[in-house]
Every structure is written in structure tokens, then in C-alpha cells.
Amino acid sequence: MNVGTKMFVREITPPFIFRGMRHLFHVLSSRNRQETWGEKPAEWYDALYEVSAEYRKHYSQSEYYFLWTVLVDRIMRYGLSNILDIGCGPGQFATLLYEKGFKQYCGIDLSPKCIELAKGKCASFEFIVADIFNTNVLKVRDYDCLVALEFLEHVEDDLAVLHKVRSGTRFFGSVPNFPYDSHVRHFTSLNQVRDRYEPHFSSFQVDKFLGDPKGKIFYVMEGIKR
């Protein structure tokens, strides 16, 4: 419906009916969108990484930069040195780690396009195309730090991933409070995050970070795998 038609309909429709129609439209639109939410294949992410300029920015220009700086500070504070990054993205976080002096890092992602971008940004680090559910990397590789930033909300079996993590590993992760096409779930409170993930860790803590003035929130977790 174009702007002119919308204005005409609004002029001839009683206000209470127009408001009801608008509310119904938003409800139906939301339902249609919800039907598309859920776990996505590698091809979906390939297409996203192919066209999005956000993933080609320098890490300091990313909307996640403020989170990454907090996490790098915590990783350095614990003296961790061998990082395994699940759902590593296109190399922005890895580049920050490299410039902070880290030498041992492996990033894993489902999307070949994502890994191509990551290798282009940070050629000194190792990046692997792999489905975390069909690889034994969590069992066979050496790592003292596991990172999963904005990953767990994208997979149905998030708890199965955590179950595979080696006991004693220091874990850092983040999950959002908002829906997205590829989100399986999102969280509306600190308690929801704790209820789902705390049983897998000792010394578990979760902090809330405001992502923008509109209420976008990221919950940042850390703990030691039981």
C-alpha cells in the first residue's frame, strides 16, 4: 500500500477502526516474522556475510566493540593464552586479540564465507570451517579459554555444546535480549540466563550491558566448566 492510499484509507476510516486495523497488521506481521525465526544453515550465513558491510568494518567500528574490550580485559586478567572461539565471526574479535598480543587462537564457524573474511583480516591466526555438532574439536584441541559470543542463541542444542567443553576451561559468552531471524531464543532477564547456563559452570557470573538507547541488551557470562 503506497503513502497516498494509506492517507486516503485513514481519512475515510473511523479512528477506532483504523487503530484496530493497524494493530491487527502489526500482529500478523510479527507472526509471519516469527515463523521464519530459528536455526539457519551455512548457506544463510554465507549470504549474510556476502552482502553486509558491518562485518567488513574494523573491529573498533563494530557495534560489539564495547563488549569485546570488556572480554579481552577479563581474558588478560586471568592470564589465559590459548583461545578457542566458537561462532568466531569474520575475524574482528580475533584481530583485536592479535593486536593485544595473543598468539594462540583458533576460530570456528559454520560459514565458509565467514572464515574467508576472517582469514583475510587476521592471517596469523587459525580459522576452521566446521559445524560444532559434527567435529571433535572441543575434545581434541588444547585450549584454556572458550569463547562463544552471540552464538548460543543461534543453535537449538546450545547445552549439548557446553556439555562437550573440557572441565576446568574458563568460559566467556554473550547472549542477547532481542529476537532475530537466526535466533532460536533470547533472554529477558539475568535470571533467565542464570537458570539456563549456570548449572554447567562454577564461579559463574553474568552481567548486563546496554547496547543502545532503545533497550538492546547483551548478557555477558563467564565461569569455569564443571
pLDDT score of 28: 41
Domain ranges of the chain: 3-34, 42-225
CB 132 within 8 A of CB 86: yes
Residues of the chain scoring pLDDT < 70: 1-35
pLDDT score of 13: 56
Residues 94 and 110: their CA atoms lie apart, in Å, by: 16
Q: Any residues with CB less than 8 A from the CB of 5 and at least 6 apart, and which? A: none
CATH class, range 42-225: alpha beta
Residue 95 phi, psi (nearest 5): -65, -40
> What pTM value is reported for the model?
0.84
- Dihedral angle of Cα 2, 3, 7, 13, to the nearest 10 degrees: 40
pLDDT score of 7: 43
CB 107 within 8 A of CB 147: no
Contacts 24+ apart (CB under 8 A), 62-65: 62/92, 63/211, 63/212, 64/92, 64/93, 64/149, 64/150
